Amino acid sequence: MNFAIVGPGAIGSLWASYLIQAGHHVCLWSRNSSPHISIQRDECPAIQFHNGHTEQLAQADVVLVTLKAPQVQHVLESIAPHIDKDAILLLMHNGMGTAKATQTLFPNNPLLLATTTHGAYRPSSTQVLHTGQGQTLIGAVNQKGTQCEFLVEVLNHALPQVHWQHQINQALWNKVAINCAINPLTALHQIRNGELAAVHYRSQLDSITTEVALVMQAEGIDADAQHLRKTVNDVIEATANNYSSMEQDIAHQRPSEIDFITGHLIKTARTHGIDVPVNEQLYHAIKQIEQSW
């Protein structure tokens, strides 16, 4: 198949490398204006990809968007004229809230969302390290998307495990819930995930997860505050040595994905008339840091 990877950063480079290795045609669409980009994954030989060619973008059967959430809308607006009307759009990023604008922009294309737990790190613009094996869940946003379940087999062949989710919103909310608990706190205090196991974070984490569970339930998503709290503890323990993506964004003075994580929670809470004061306080604290740069 013809794949276009839009936003070939750490996760996009990882997929580009595995997809081409599985025999697919893969082109890139990056901010870099160079016509070719070389990517070396782990110890594999470097591979050259075409980059920024509108004709190749137009031939893509699948447009895999691995931008960070805040970039999705404006980048897709800029490339919309070059995307085939039958191309499958697959958005893979943390957080929620980009699907609506994407659907408005591409009303006739199949639209899928994905969440992944693979770990990828880019030590330089031409290298990517696959730092952790994980799984990728994908599911449909619109009617045409429901006909694209076959893509699971294609992607699974390249970078397993990939699973189809009939309720992708459930998987995305589960991830948002964990991100709401771990990301803002680690970013504000500039700490590793494991440090959230300390006693003085307990009541704040309890409140965050209780608020998130209420909003999820109001959205018709399965959620239990105690179960969510336990999952958060498990993730804190399993990723104790890691810095969260928001911690790193704030440390490097890059705009974080807060609007699509805690911000999405707050927006959804408002539509149901639910108060989420602890999450709101964390949201404003992160925004304040970003606005101070």
Ligand X SMILES: NC(=O)c1ccc[n+]([C@@H]2O[C@H](COP(=O)([O-])OP(=O)(O)OC[C@H]3O[C@@H](n4cnc5c(N)ncnc54)[C@H](OP(=O)(O)O)[C@@H]3O)[C@@H](O)[C@H]2O)c1
**Interaction of residue 7 with ligand X, rule CB under 6 A:** yes
Please state at what angle helix 277-292 crosses helix 262-271, rounded to 10 degrees.
130
Asked if 263 is part of the footprint of ligand X (rule: CB under 6 A), the reply reads no
Q: Is 67 in the site for ligand X (CB under 6 A)?
A: yes
| Count of CB atoms situated within 10 Å of the CB of 31 | 12
Near ligand X in 91-150, by CB under 6 A: 93-94, 116, 119-120, 122
Total of residues contacting ligand X (CB under 6 A) = 23
Instruction: Check if 175 is active-site.
Output: yes
**Closest distance to ligand X from the beta carbon of 199 (Å):** 29
Q: Which of 41, 68, 130, 264 binds ligand X (CB under 6 A)?
A: 68
- Using the minimum distance from each CB to ligand X, give the nearer residue, 144 or 287: 287
Q: Which residue is nearest to ligand X (CB)?
A: 9
Quick check: 30 binds ligand X (CB under 6 A)?
yes
Binding of ligand X by 75 (CB under 6 A): yes
Q: Is 279 in the site for ligand X (CB under 6 A)?
A: no
Residue 53 has phi, psi (to 5 degrees) of: -90, 115
User: Is residue 165 part of the contact set for ligand X (CB under 6 A)?
Assistant: no
Q: Choose which of 69, 96, 196, 223 interacts with ligand X (CB under 6 A).
A: 69
Could you tell me if 29 and 7 are in contact, meaning their C-beta atoms sit under 8 angstroms apart?
yes
242 binds ligand X (CB under 6 A): no
* Shortest spacing between CB 93 and ligand X, in angstroms: 3
Q: Is 11 in the site for ligand X (CB under 6 A)?
A: yes
Interface stretch with ligand X, choices 69-77, 135-143, 187-195, 274-282 (CB under 6 A)? 69-77
C-alpha angle 48/50/51, rounded to 5°? 120
Catalytic hit among 175, 230, 267, 287: 175
Least separation in angstroms between CB 240 and ligand X? 16
Q: Which residues bind ligand X (CB under 6 A)?
A: 7-12, 29-31, 66-69, 71, 75, 93-94, 116, 119-120, 122, 245, 257
Active site residues: 175
